[in-house]
Structure 1
Amino acid sequence: MDAEMSVATEAWAALGGAPDAHDALSFAGEGAFASAFAVDGLAAGSVAAAGLALADLLSASGAARPSVAVDRRLAALWFGTSILPDGWALPPARHPTMRDYRARDGWIKLHTVAPAHRAAAARVLGAPPEPEAFAAAVAGWSAEALERAVVEAGGCAAAMRSEAAWLQHPQGRAVAAEPLVALDEADPGPAPAWAVPAARPLAGVRVLDLTRVLAGPVATRLLAGWGAEVLRIDPPGWEEDGLAPDVTLGKSCARLDLREGRDRATFEALLARADVLLNGYRPGAMDALGYGVENCRRLSPGLVDVRLDAWGWTGPWAGRRGFDSLVQMASGINEAGARAAGRDAPLPLPVQALDHATGYLAAAAALRGLARRVRGQGTAARLSLAATARLLSGLGPVTPGPGHAPPAEADLSPAVEHTVWGPARRLRPPLAVEGAPLRWDRPANPLGSAPAAWW
């Protein structure tokens, strides 16, 4: 079985989908990531899982199950960025201190995009937040000791481990015991107020997006493409300048402080009218604010509650801050890549594939939840980057390809997108569900640029 079909099959089984749904699934085009891992297969297969989930929603509403077609090249390109600026450039997505450093006994990655995480690393190292100063300080540390110290200080770091070491690590063992997608039964609530029009199947569906870099925003971008009303909520001061033009497509973006009474009241009013909640906070973080799964469903009966995190939902690292690059480092991906390439330094995947794939799987989970609600069932779902890393590693090694050619005119949608940053072109959608084309009605927009209100 090809890697993309293997991914689609495993994901669809984890989502509780009917096995015969694959009969209407097809792939075309060529992928050629320069990687020892089957990143092309992960990209095309996770995109396919979302397509199968939409087809299931349409069939749950009485329509014939439509065909689902995935373009391997476009799926891979969307795993990079979907937007090509015209006459302007995307800001850098990372700080210069975010890199791999050689420690006394191995390698460690410091994730320093957020100012608070950068400050935590600087405090531990006793060095100014500059690459050279960090490198000199890291050299005197054991990689795992520095990992612990940075995390305990409120920062983000991961020592490089082999896959074998990860599978023996308490967190690696915990993730190995978790499903790719945990899909739980819940009270279905009242019958949904929305229909599922074939051409715009998510029209009337309200999606409350409490996610940040990067998996959750990928999921809600896809849902917006089928007509969902997506409202993204960020805390005051949070910015993603290098990512917002790519991932806010089709959405409205507002700010709320969920520790402040008036904003909490606004959030609860929004939640009461939401059909789907996507939450990318660490396990326990929303519960501490009073918005655990049960409370959210009490405020919004029938809510499809989809939650995703970095390290999994059990084990000693379940509450740890994490990002795609850190999971790659800890789970053996970077070590295996380096070994396959015959180099000493860590070799990451050519794109943030764990984020993007988890995003498409989260979108699939949301769509499955909507289909189950049509059928009178309730749903809560949990996913993690670490489980997606296990999925990728399980595909086995591949011979690295030459790399993808840059996007050409044939890869681009014809329309110009007029954003506040400037004009841009988008890649053509990588996924075609028969009769339900992806189309985004709003251009990308900055975080916090809209009021916290449904449209």
Structure 2
Amino acid sequence: MENDQVTQAASQHLREFWTALGGAPALAATCGFGGTGELVSAFRVTDLAAAAIGAAATAAAELLQASTGHLPAVHVDRRMASLWFGASLHPLGWTMPPLWDAIAGNYRARDRWIRLHTNAPHHRQAALSVLDCAADQESVRQAVAGWDADTLEAAIVARGGCAAVMYSREEWAAHPQGKAVAAEPLLHVATGARVSTRAWEPSRDRPLRGIRVLDLTRILAGPVATRFLAGLGAEVLRIDPYGWEEPNTVPEVVLGKRCARLNLKDPADLDTLRRLMGHADILVHGYRSDALAKLGLDAAQRRELNPALIDVSLDAYGWSGAWQCRRGFDSLIQMSTGIAEAGMRVMGSAAPVNLPVQAIDHATGYLMAAAALRGLTLRMTRGVGIEVRASLARTAAVLQLRTEPMREVSGFAAETPVDRCAHVEPTSWGPAARLLPPVQIEGAPLAWRYPARALGAYEPEWLPSNELL
């Protein structure tokens, strides 16, 4: 595919994203794309990556234009965008834990394929308790083979676990939850009434300096969103429960953040969360859609607590239908929505073929970051709060299947030290190199104040105002 055609494909995605965000159409045309090669896949993953990052950067440029009258140029490197959708962190002298648990993966049931997601200990235990087998791949394979896939999926989900039957795109379109997701917009956007807001304007070089972001997210879309906001200068405070760990993703996604812990079942800690929320500018949360409501913090209560809040939330399987509260992750969404089945057919494989990176998570994360930035623009110019809801299943629907033969798809050049920042990042786990940013915003380069630190490394409190400057 020629470079102008590649640019056209990414630009098409960007226009779709920008329309969903409610942005002025002309702004989407100002984002430029460059770089050669792409991720080898049955789907246009690199176009999705470049466009999603472009949407977030365009929203940052719009925020600066609203304050200064000047629209900064935005340019996305498609190759670097592809790399960031994989891994941006490279340990120096130490090793990251494996991305997947030993028994996570795709298995053949009696009638069709199913994927088990077992990275969290309680999800692993849920699957093993249903299968009643040893915790190794061969034992799991034999146990799964004795089940019908739908029955096994339902049993694991009922135990609080995570599994997904592989459907074709046609089967998903006919499925009740597929129909529900198809009827939803790419992003649910609701603007609140005009309220009093604190005086704030973006800094030219650090657009989000002075902005407080409360991060209630876990693997992987939400943390990607708040990482981008931190790169623009926001103070991001991530809250996790005691005992929760994500050893295979945390070093990648906590760049630029302060991470603290609270026990939200404890009334005092819940009060702390309410105070933090009351003084936040942006809330990004990825709990299941009913989780905060059970804590007395549904959307209406959050708005009452903080009328000017920019409230951005994520759900896996959409915001309507019987599965709206179902646990889900990128790899499961790929199975349910037909992506893995289409990959299997196009690539001529005998087993499901997942995307080369967790592109649904990453793309949704950048869309959430873009929504938060557009929310700031609306709050600054119109004095309103905003609520935005995204879902992995709805983002998956925009991913385009290739039309040209796979032999025409050329990969990009392998990563080299030239692609990495010159300074060494002193993470909690050891020194590391971080990739150069995938996007350039004129006059406002992405830069992170804090290196990646372990969960719970900080206290659950906002920095004093003088430290935000």
TM-score, normalised relative to structure 2: 0.95
Name the CA distance, whole Å, in 1 between partners of 2:211 and 2:199: 9
Structure 2 partner of 1:8? 14
What does 1:33-48 correspond to in 2, within 5 Å? 33-48=39-54
1:439 matched to 2:447? The reply is: yes
Contact 1:68 1:434 in 2 (8 A): yes
303-312 or 289-298: bigger deviation: 289-298
Displacement of 1:410 in angstroms is 2.2
Name the CA distance, whole Å, in 2 between partners of 1:89 and 1:406: 20
How far does the alpha carbon of each residue in 1:330-353 deviate from its partner, in whole angstroms, 9 at most, with x for none?
100000000001112000000000
1:195 matched to 2:191? The reply is: no
Displacement of 1:399 in angstroms is 4.2
1:454 matched to 2:454? The reply is: no
What does 1:186-265 correspond to in 2, within 5 Å? 186-265=192-271
2:87 corresponds to which of 77, 81, 84: 81
Amino acid aligned to 2:394: A
Displacement of 1:193 in angstroms is 3.2
Contact 2:213 2:234 in 1 (8 A): yes
SS in 2 for 1:315: coil
SS in 1 for 2:272: helix
How far does the alpha carbon of each residue in 1:24-78 deviate from its partner, in whole angstroms, 9 at most, with x for none?
2110101321101000100000000001111111122233111110000000000
How far does the alpha carbon of each residue in 1:377-396 deviate from its partner, in whole angstroms, 9 at most, with x for none?
32100001111100104x65
SS in 2 for 1:187: strand
Structure 2 partner of 1:64? 70
Q: Which ranges in structure 2 are unaligned for 5 or more consecutive residues?
A: 464-469
Instruction: After the TM superposition, list the runs of 4 or more consecutive aligned residues in structure 1 that deviate by more than 6 angstroms.
Output: none
SS in 2 for 1:58: helix
Amino acid aligned to 1:442: Y
SS in 2 for 1:375: helix
Displacement of 1:402 in angstroms is 4.4
Contact 1:83 1:425 in 2 (8 A): yes
Displacement of 1:189 in angstroms is 2.7
Amino acid aligned to 2:9: A
Name the CA distance, whole Å, in 2 between partners of 1:125 and 1:244: 29
Name the CA distance, whole Å, in 2 between partners of 1:7 and 1:425: 31
What does 1:377-416 correspond to in 2, within 5 Å? 377-393=384-400, 396-400=402-406, 401-416=409-424
Q: Which ranges in structure 1 are unaligned for 5 or more consecutive residues?
A: none
Q: How many residues align?
A: 454
Displacement of 1:406 in angstroms is 3.0
What does 1:415-434 correspond to in 2, within 5 Å? 415-434=423-442
Contact 1:36 1:399 in 2 (8 A): no
1:351 corresponds to which of 357, 365, 388: 357
Amino acid aligned to 1:444: A
Name the CA distance, whole Å, in 2 between partners of 1:293 and 1:351: 32
Displacement of 1:235 in angstroms is 1.1
Contact 2:258 2:453 in 1 (8 A): yes
Name the CA distance, whole Å, in 2 between partners of 1:404 and 1:25: 21
What does 1:143-222 correspond to in 2, within 5 Å? 143-222=149-228
SS in 1 for 2:398: helix
Name the CA distance, whole Å, in 2 between partners of 1:42 and 1:188: 35
SS in 2 for 1:69: strand
Contact 2:307 2:385 in 1 (8 A): no
Contact 2:49 2:82 in 1 (8 A): yes
Amino acid aligned to 1:409: P
TM-score, normalised relative to structure 1: 0.98
Identical aligned residues as a percent: 52
SS in 1 for 2:56: helix
1:112 matched to 2:118? The reply is: yes
Displacement of 1:292 in angstroms is 1.0
How big is the alpha-carbon RMSD for the aligned residues of Structure 1 and Structure 2? 1.2
Structure 1 partner of 2:129? 123
Name the CA distance, whole Å, in 1 between partners of 2:368 and 2:28: 19
SS in 2 for 1:270: helix
How far does the alpha carbon of each residue in 1:116-170 deviate from its partner, in whole angstroms, 9 at most, with x for none?
1111111111112221111111001111111111111111000110000000001
Displacement of 1:3 in angstroms is 2.2
Amino acid aligned to 1:196: P
